[in-house]
Amino acid sequence: MIDPSIAHSINRRRFLQGTGLGFGGMALNNLLGSPRPTPKAKAKSVIWLFMRGGVSHMESFDPKPALNDHAGKSIPDSPYASVLEPEKFENQRVVVVGDANGQQRNKLYPLQVGYKQYGQSGTAVSDWFPHIGQQVDDLAIIRSMWTTDNNHGAQVQFHSGRHMLDPHEPTIGAWINYGLGSLNDDLPQFINIGPRFFDKRDGHYLGPAYDAVNLKIDPKNPLNFAKPEGKISLEEQKATFDLTGRLNRLSAKMYPSDPALEARIKSYELAYRMQSAVPETINFDDESEATKKLYGLDQKETRPFGEQLLAARRFVERGVRFIQIMHGDGAAGAWDQHSQLKKNHAKLAGQVDLPTAGLLQDLKQRGLLEDTIVVFATEFGRTPGSQGTDGRDHHPYGFSVWMAGGGIKGGVVHGSTDEIGFHAVEHPHYVTDIHATLLHQLGLDGRSLEVPGHKRIEQDYGHIISEILA
Amino acid sequence: MKPITWLLPALGLHSFIFGAPDYLQDVKPLLASRCFDCHGALKQEAKLRVDTAQSMIDAEMIIPGKPDDSELIYRITTTEPEERMPPEHEGAMFLENEVNIIREWIANGAPVPEGEKPEADPQDHWAYQKIKRPPLPKDVSDQNPVDAFIHSKHREMALKPQPPAEPKILLRRLYLDLSGLPPTTEQLLTNASYEDTVDQLLASPHYGERWGRHWMDVWRYSDWYGLGGMLRHSQKHLWHWRDWIINSLNKDKGYDRMIQEMLAGDELDPQSREAVTGTGYLARSYYVFNRNTWLDATIEHSAKAFLGITMNCAKCHDHKYDPISQVDYYNYRSFFEPHHLRLDALPGETNFDKNGLPRAYDRDLNATTSLFQRGDPALPDDQKNIQPLVPKMFREFAPEVQTVSLPPSSWAPGSRSYFQNDQIKLAESEILNARKELQEYKSGKKAIPPEVKKDNPVNQKAESFTDGFEAERPELWKIVGGGWRYQGGNLVQLEPVMSDQFVRSLKVHPRDFELTMEFRTTGGKKWKSVGVCFDIDEEGKNGHVVYASAVNNAQKVQVAHRTNNRMTYPPQAQKRKQIQLDKNYVFTLQVKKDLLNVSLNHEHLISHRLPQRYKDGRIELLAFDAIAEFNEISVRELPADTKLKPPTSHSPNLVKVDPTELPKARLKATLAKLKAIKARIAADKWMIRHSEIDINNEIISHSIVSQKEYLVAQAEVDLLTAKAGKKAAAEKNLANARKALEEDGGEHTPLRGSQMALVSNVDKEPEYSAIYEKQSTGRRLALAQWITSSENPLAARVAINHIWMRHFGTPLVKSSFDFGRRIPKPEHAELLDWLASELIASDWSMKKIHRIILTSETWKRTASNLHADPKTIKTDKNNQYYWRMNSRRMESQVIRDSLLHIAGKLDLKMGGPSINPSPDSTRRALYFLHSRDQQSKFLATFDDAEILACYERTESIVPQQALALSNAKLPIQISESLGKKGPKEDTAFINELFQKILCRMPTDEELHECLQFLNKMPKRDRLAHALLTHNDFLTIR
């Protein structure tokens, strides 16, 4: 097995030697160079919406009427007893010894919400997501996802493709940032909005420069160090930046052709612009009332997520590659409905449904959906059986995500779970299949971008889900 | 230029551009990546080699011109599990376009350039050769060996080196290199010779701090982290190991000895606290949930850091490139298999949460290791005999594994005299306190309840608050005990226990208030009581409780009073009420002076007069013996005009309590405890003298009886302080203790002088034995001795490479953690070997190596290209031959420390517990907490050390760094401080500022720029800030 970090360090050096830079890392090259050409690219940017805690697939994008028909029966007593055959659980890997999570599925629990068919495709979507339902002809819904972690470490796994017990790998956002480079130097290229927990890093062996930049939708203080933590006027700050720039240029006379110095001079100019470009991007004053309404900015429940999505669109317009929006607070994530699923899923869906649909419509009407991929994902689904009286436990064996835009087919349902939503049976996809598909649409070769020769290479690197490509 | 093309072995690119596939460019790399590991120099499965075209032809794997008849094509295209290549689980199948390239090449007649050589024998790899000291080159006259080797290369390549750096710049470089701090103006203007300054800096304690941080990178220092208060990774108080690194470097402990102490200090010199502290290295990799993950990290990183072997690549299958088999991996694991971790008590502290020494020891002397097929713990292969053996090809100089006998201080840490004395002192102080308390109650100075007041004068600011429990709010709640989780938008208590676990508000509620709380009880063992407390004091001793109990057959809502930790349940404040599981309820509490109204689901149930109110009352959520969810709480001031319902009965029934009952019991228990401790100490001593336990011996039996007496006395106290539902258990406990005292027999319980790390997350610590094995396997010591053997070809080379890289900015061997076969022989191999042999010959003294390097002309050269020989620049643009110094950016810690140091504000205190990475801290940054969850934001911006692995710091240049320097509090404050000091006259001020920040005088042009700036904007702090963000401040030139 090749150790990926060696491959990185060697290749990085080779690359840098190729450009004549002794050191400095890729970020330096990002500064000095242009975006990397990707002739086969169908998409330029990704908006990654991640519902933390585990969305019930049966009550969102994979309705299972059989649950209503057999409600109250235990799985062994139902016609679906075969889902419990032990060999069907081989992929599961438990982090915590004796972890009871993911085991609670006593009796088949009926659907807690109705569903309807939408659009020309007639795809069924639950009544908790009526607005997304309206957009269903733009979505490719994948109903056959699976993962291996039965607990919330699966959040990391969905982003890195690696189980919590395996060494850390860079996340998909970091790889894309690494592989593509920048379209706009005034803005950070990989943005995270919202809570993270299990792993707060992205770059790992690619280096901290590939970690997501955490951002808040607060024009006054959107990111770390975005405004002086002291009494300095704008004018003073500008003068200071200018003087540093002039002194650095004088220093370049003493240290001619020092690429790091050149890069630093440029990075200061960028920093000065970033200071205003970031707040400017998340300031919605120039958006029409209609647009704000589209994202639900006029309603208390939808406003926070709507603002994040509107900001995401504005970042995409400005060339940012990867905007990762994490929804749902708490260590485990708000969608983790071990109990009171109906009440809380309804509430959470109410927060994201309208803004997400608004985002899709807005991207479309601006022609941005053509080269922007929207991903709507979660770390795992929830058990078809009940936990307690009114909840569902973690369920890694089958769940749903959807993608839209950027050359992804619309109105498509791909893959399926069995009748009760237990196992992914038709076209099962491990989480990195989503990564491979994204990389492919962005013009990158997932297998070459990473390092050949891994264990379980197919699983680790993922297959492109070609059935959903336009 | 896109970097990904460099990650590709240029698959198919050549044929795409030039037509026919080329063997060396297109075909061989494909075979190398998929086939060479089993059919090359490393292994010859089926006696087949495919590392030359001829060998493939000879083996009839390919028939030139006939791809369809070639076995190779069949093997790489078939999906037959028995026949496909690479085999399942050992590599991905060839892609279609890759097969086509090979097919086309065969079809073209399999053309190969002449003289194709097979892969070299792994044994011949440069890094695996014994280190021999090479003679110094004869073509140059240099005395310093670094110069001799480097200059000889310069001659060979006709390179013209740059002159030395300007003396002040050189001095700055030297100070930053050895102390991590720039020189002060006074130090800059020294008359001392360069060599004396080198010696002086090497002797300074800051050397250990500066280089300690480097080695903390390589050895993966991380403070503990987990989930909330639960430790999951690393160990508490790991700073002891950090200080061990610093002190070891400062005393120039041999690098060999350091490795031995890190891997096996407990076996090497068990009596020495210093040696044992080194094993903090092993404590760092701890992971509570999974022993395999823990050991995998120990294996991977010890092999990478000490040996430059990527052992981790052999976990699932034989190494693809290096002569390390999968059996070697598990053999190597076997060295670590017996070890475990614990905290040993240190003098003066009996609380392991406050201090303790994290260390390794062998827990299981007979631990066996299995090979896991494909690295999967579910697939152990018991056919393979796994033993503590080093990789086969390096076995000739491996020492025997020899069992180590341990002294009593190791196997019975409670027998250490300082620990015994601390225990006695603690017990004595408890007696004093108990006496004092009793006296206070007797004299009436204290009474039950303390500070009785009819009213509740709120001293602190009272606040209304609401919480929907969407996420943790540490500013609002203090959470104690396990079982609490924020999940699904609720605060949930998952463990039905009766012990002390609670969620208490940090805010004080208004005196007269209205509280609503939505909750549901979802389970529990017996009592299933869920509710809320108010008027709770900071320590939780006093207050009032309202709860709903779903206990079978007696479901009710009850008001109770907690008075000095004792509960009373007035019968008139109780209402029978059906409480269902899994149903949401809303409690409404209204309190006005001493009147309380309680409603459930808006139905009025109880009116009650409170016997007293307590000041600064807090809210507490209660889940007693229950699994419960708290959905929402809201606490607000009671509107003044609210009318509460008075109770029908007017006489609250306060239970009369003898105020001295509890203090008396406490005193009795503390006295019994001291007696028991003394008896146990005597018994421990006897046990160590006789190395056995004889319960008939008087000393032993006295210890047993004293301990029983103490347990009875303590059980009496526990009963008095037990809360309602725990009364029965406490009574039972007391009865058992009394019964045990009446009966003969029992066991001597040695004093517990250590706290074991959890073996499994479901374990509880006190169940572990207080004494340990009297021997250690000696496996880790044997491993450490093999690593540091003077015959080991890798350890010294790897160490020199790390040291060199940190002096020069570039390593001699490209990959500092991989010296395997894929890493070509370095350009400066002889220099590397000379320094490695010198390291070994000088008892592994690192200071000696530093001195050689730092006094070389090579190290002193300017980092500038200015006036450099154009031919030299052209020949060696990347300075591979060190004809000039490399400029480097300061590491994150150096930037931050230098900012403070320049303004004279850096606190140079050394060592001690890790501190909060606050922007206001003035301690050196290497003492900051450094873990997944604790890291300074400022440091993180400048490529701070990655905690999982950091063999080399990256040096990124991103705009966020400029923002941090411009906008963070620290540089702004330092600028203000610098702007206030200094000469009145501008030119003199600018000169002084340049000296302080850049350690040089400004050029005329720079002076002009700065004067002009001050003319336009007479703000000296702004000028200082511009210099603090200057590239040459951040850069080590």
B366 is in which domain, residue-wise? 234-406+771-787
Name the residue of chain B whose CA is nearest to A457's CA. Answer: B92
Three-class DSSP labels, B551-612: CCCCCEEEEEEEECCEEECCHHHEEECCCCCCCEEEEEEEEECCEEEEEECCEEEEEEECCC
Residues B46-83 as b or e (16 or more Cβ within 10 Å = b)? eebbbbbbebbeebebbbbeebeebbbbbbbeeeeeee
Residues shown for chain A: 470
pLDDT for the residue B455:
52
Tell me which of A36-40, B366-370, B669-673 is least confident.
Answer: A36-40
- Residue B912 CB neighbours (<10 A): 12
Whether A220 and chain B come into contact, CB under 8 Å, resolves to no
Predicted pLDDT at A198: 75
Cβ-nearest to B887 among A13, A28, A258: A258
What is the pLDDT at residue A10? 34
With 60 as the cut, is the pLDDT of residue B549 above it? yes
Sole residue written with tokens 């075969």: A82
Same domain for B551 and B674? Answer: no
Q: Which of B217, B23, B200 is nearest to B107 (CA)?
A: B23
B535: closest CA among B512, B501, B566? B512
* Cβ partners under 8 Å of residue B189, min gap 6: none
Of A19, A229, A329, the CB nearest to B471: A329
List chain A domain ranges: 34-217+286-468, 226-281
Q: How far apart are CA B831 and CA B803, in angstroms?
A: 13
Percent of chain A at pLDDT above 70? Answer: 88
The CA distance from B344 to B147, in Å, is 49
Q: A207 and B522 in contact by Cβ < 8 A?
A: no
Is B142 a member of any domain?
no
**3-class DSSP state of B1036:** strand
Same domain, B331 and B260: yes
- B972 contact residues in A (CB cutoff 8 A): 228-230, 232
Residue B582 and residue A339: Cβ atoms within 8 Å?
yes
Residues B10, B110 within the same domain: yes
Q: Kindly report which listed range (A83-87, A451-455, B206-210, B648-652) carries the lowest average pLDDT score.
A: A451-455
* 3-state secondary structure (DSSP) of residue B369: coil
Give the confidence band of B18 by pLDDT, cuts at 50, 70, 90.
low
A chain contacts of residue B968, beta-carbon cutoff 8 Å: 225, 229
One domain, residues B618 and B679: no
Residue B944 has what pLDDT? 93
**Tell me: the pLDDT tens digits for B166-200?**
999 999 999 999 999 999 999 999 999 999 999 99
| Whether A225 and B1009 lie within 8 Å, measured CB to CB | no
- Using a CB-CB cut-off of 8 Å, the residues of chain A touching B165 are none
Mean pLDDT along residues A28-32: 43
Q: Does A249 touch chain B (CB under 8 A)?
A: no
Query: Considering only CB atoms, which chain B residues are within 8 Å of A457?
Result: 91-92
Q: Does A300 touch chain B (CB under 8 A)?
A: no
Q: How confident is the model at residue B5 (pLDDT cuts 50, 70, 90)?
A: very low
Q: Which residues of B touch A277 (CB under 8 A)?
A: none
Cross-chain residue pair B3–A11, CB shorter than 8 Å: yes
Q: Estimate to the nearest angstrom the gap between the alpha carbon of A225 and the chain centroid.
A: 25
Candidates A151, A190, A215, A232: best to mutate against B (most CBs of B within 10 A) is A232
B536 φ/ψ angles, rounded to the nearest 5 degrees: -75, 130
Interface test with B, best of A97, A236, A237, A238 (most B CBs within 10 A): A97
If contacts are CB pairs under 8 Å, which of residues 348-367 in chain A contact chain B? 348
Short-list A330, A421, A437, A412, CA closest to A142:
A412
Nearest residue in chain A measured CA to CA from B864: A255
Of B6-10, B558-562, B843-847, give the range with the top mean pLDDT: B843-847
The alpha-carbon gap from B874 to the nearest alpha carbon of chain A, in Å, equals 11
Q: Is B290–A209 a contact, with Cβ atoms under 8 angstroms apart?
A: no
Nearest Cα to Cα of residue A302 among A361, A362, A348, A365: A348
Contact B488 A337 (CB under 8 A): yes
Whether residue A100 lies within 8 A of chain B, CB to CB, comes out as no
Asked if residue B806 belongs to a domain, the reply is no
Shared domain check, B541 and B399: no
Q: What percent of the residues of chain B are helix, what percent strand, and what percent coil, each to the nearest 5? A: 40, 15, 45
Among residues B9, B22, B36, the alpha carbon closest in space to that of B113 is found at B22
**CATH number of the domain within which B559 lies:** 2.60.120.560
Could you report how far apart the first and last alpha carbons of chain A are, in Å? 35
What is the nearest CA distance from A411 to chain B, expressed in angstroms? Answer: 31
Tokens 């649950």 label which residue? A67
**How many other β-carbons are positioned within 10 Å of the β-carbon of residue B571?**
8
Q: Using an 8 Å Cβ cutoff, are A59 and A296 in contact?
A: no
Q: Do B567 and B678 share a domain, yes or no?
A: no
Is residue B94 a contact partner of residue B77, using CB atoms and an 8 Å limit? Answer: yes
Give chain B's length.
1037
Comparing C-alpha atoms, which of A41, A108, A168 is closest to residue A422?
A: A108
Burial class (CB in 10 A: 0-12, 13-18, 19+), B2: middle
Q: What is the pLDDT of residue A454?
A: 32
Distance CA(B786)–CA(B389), nearest Å, equals 10
SS3 B381: strand
Q: What is the mean pLDDT of residues B458-478?
A: 83
Q: Name every residue whose Cβ is closer than 8 Å to that of residue B395 and which is 6 or more positions away in sequence.
A: B389
Question: B322 to chain A, minimum CA–CA distance in Å?
Answer: 10
Residue A470: closest CA among A425, A407, A422, A411? A407
One domain, residues B633 and B668? no
How far is B289 from A95, CA to CA, in rounded Å? 6
Contacts of B127 in chain A (CB under 8 A): none
Angstroms from B580 CA to nearest CA on chain A: 12
pLDDT of residue A98: 67
The whole-number pLDDT of residue B244 equals 98
Which of B827, B956, B970, B990 would best serve as a mutation to test chain A binding (most A beta carbons within 10 A)? B956
Helix (H), strand (E) at residue B513: strand B513-536
Is residue B156 classed exposed, middle or buried when 0-12, 13-18 and 19+ CB atoms within 10 A define those classes? exposed
What amino acid occupies position B186?
E
Contacts of B1 in chain A (CB under 8 A): 15, 18-19, 29, 33, 36
- Whether A33 shows a pLDDT value over 50: the answer reads no
Helix, strand, or coil here: B783? helix
Contact A448 B8 (CB under 8 A): yes
Q: What is the CA radius of gyration of chain B?
A: 36
pLDDT digits (tens, 9 = 90+) for B730-770: 999 999 999 999 998 888 999 999 999 999 988 887 789 99
**Most B CBs within 10 Å, among A220, A224, A227, A442, to test the B interface:** A224
Asked whether residue B742 falls in the same domain as residue B779, the answer is: no
User: Is B353 found in the same domain as B301?
Assistant: yes
State the pLDDT at residue A211: 85
What confidence score (pLDDT) does residue B724 get? 65
- The whole-number pLDDT of residue A185 equals 77
Integer Cα distance of B765 and B754 in angstroms = 10
> Which residue of A179, A331, A332 is in closest CB contact with B4?
A179
The CATH code of domain A34-217+286-468 reads: 3.40.720
A470 touches chain B (CB under 8 A): no
Q: Which two tokens stand for residue A358?
A: 């608004």
* Whether residues B613 and B726 fall in one domain: no
A 10 A CB-CB count for B744 gives 9
**DSSP at B90:** S
Among B91, B878, B966, the residue with its CB nearest the CB of A453 is B91
Structure tokens given for B473: 């709010």
Q: Are residues B579 and B696 in the same domain?
A: no
Tell me the C-alpha distance between B545 and B502, whole Å.
13
What φ, ψ does residue A80 adopt, rounded to 5°? -110, 25
Cα–Cα distances (Å) from A383 to A31, A79, A87, A116, A124, in that order, read 47, 17, 18, 22, 20
CA torsion sign for B145, B147, B148, B154 is positive
Q: Which of B817, B863, B955 sits opposite A25 (nearest CB)?
A: B955
Size of interface A-B (CB pairs under 8 A): 336
Q: What span, in angstroms and rounded, lies between the C-alpha atoms of A77 and A397?
A: 20
| Structural element, H or E, at residue B466 | strand B465-467
Using CA coordinates, name the residue in chain B closest to A223. B960
* pLDDT above 80 (res A18): no
Of the residues B487, B823, B969, B994, the best mutation for testing chain A's interface (the one with the most A CB atoms within 10 Å of its CB) is B487
* φ/ψ (deg, to 5) at B339: -80, 155
Give dist(CA B960, CA B980) in Å, integer. 28
Residue A139 pLDDT > 50: yes
Query: In chain B, which residues have their Cβ closer than 8 Å to the Cβ of A335?
Result: 488
* Distance separating alpha carbons of residues A127 and A118, to the nearest angstrom: 11
Contact B292 A5 (CB under 8 A): no
pLDDT of residue A449: 63
- Between CA B218 and CA B951 the distance in angstroms is 5
**Which one-letter DSSP state was computed for residue B322?**
S
Higher per-residue confidence, A270 vs B286: B286
From the list A209, A225, A331, the residue facing B963 with the nearest CB is A225
- Three-state secondary structure call for residue B377: coil
Contact between B858 and B150 under an 8 Å Cβ cutoff? The reply is yes
* Nearest beta carbon to residue A26 from set B3, B522, B1031: B3
How many folded domains does chain B comprise? 5
* Mutation site for B-interface testing, chosen from A89, A255, A463 by largest number of B Cβ within 10 Å: A255
The pLDDT value recorded for residue B287 is: 96
Mean pLDDT of A23-44: 56
Q: Which residues, numbered 410 to 449 in chain A, qualify as contacts with chain B under a Cβ-Cβ cut-off of 8 Å?
A: 444-445, 447-449
Torsion of CA B688, B691, B693, B697, to 10 degrees: -70
Q: Does residue A3 register a pLDDT over 50? A: no
Instruction: Give exposure, B941-965, as e/b (b: 16+ Cβ within 10 Å).
Output: bbbbbbbbbbbbbbbbbbbbbbbbb
Residue of B nearest to A34 (CA): B1
Q: Chain B partners of A229 at a C-beta cutoff of 8 Å? A: 919, 967-969, 972
Could you tell me if B884 and B858 are in contact, meaning their C-beta atoms sit under 8 angstroms apart?
no
What is the mean predicted confidence (pLDDT) over B806-820?
Answer: 94
A464 touches chain B (CB under 8 A): no
CB A67 within 8 A of CB A420: yes
Would you call A138 helix, strand, or coil by DSSP?
A: helix
Q: How far apart (Å, rounded) are the C-alpha atoms in residues B892 and B879? A: 25
User: How many Å lie between the alpha carbon of B210 and the closest alpha carbon of chain A?
Assistant: 22
